Amino acid sequence: MTFVVIENCIKCKFTDCVDVCPVDCFHEGPNFLVIDPEECIDCTLCEPECPAEAIYSEDEIPAGQEHFLELNAELTELWPVITQLKTPADDAEEWNGKEGKLELLER
């Protein structure tokens, strides 16, 4: 099983989750993070650390967000691993909780 980053991370990209990951399974894009499903060990440490509540177990992905499981796997192949906490964007809190952000995803 793996954990999955869903839509609410887009344009928020808090990195609190990265700081606690023991296997460095997070990858960073311009405005979104993803979890490598091949590297995730299902330790559950990242989920409670996400201020945007954008990380879910693959068995608990909210309805309508299931396609993020495939998207995480796809983007893992394209983006570099992130291993250190970074300062979030200045407007991250403004984007937290907004719906319909998938079209804003930068690849």
Instruction: For the chain, give the percent of residues with pLDDT over 90.
Output: 98
Q: Give the domain ranges of the chain.
A: 3-83
CB atoms within 10 A of CB 4: 24
Q: Tell me how long the chain is.
A: 107
**pTM of the predicted model over 0.85:** yes
Average pLDDT, the chain: 97
Q: Give the confidence band of 105 by pLDDT, cuts at 50, 70, 90.
A: very high
Is residue 1 pLDDT above 90, yes or no? no
In this structure, the dihedral spanned by the alpha carbons of residues 55, 3, 69 and 15, taken in order and rounded to 10 degrees, is: 50
CATH node for 3-83: 3.30.70.20
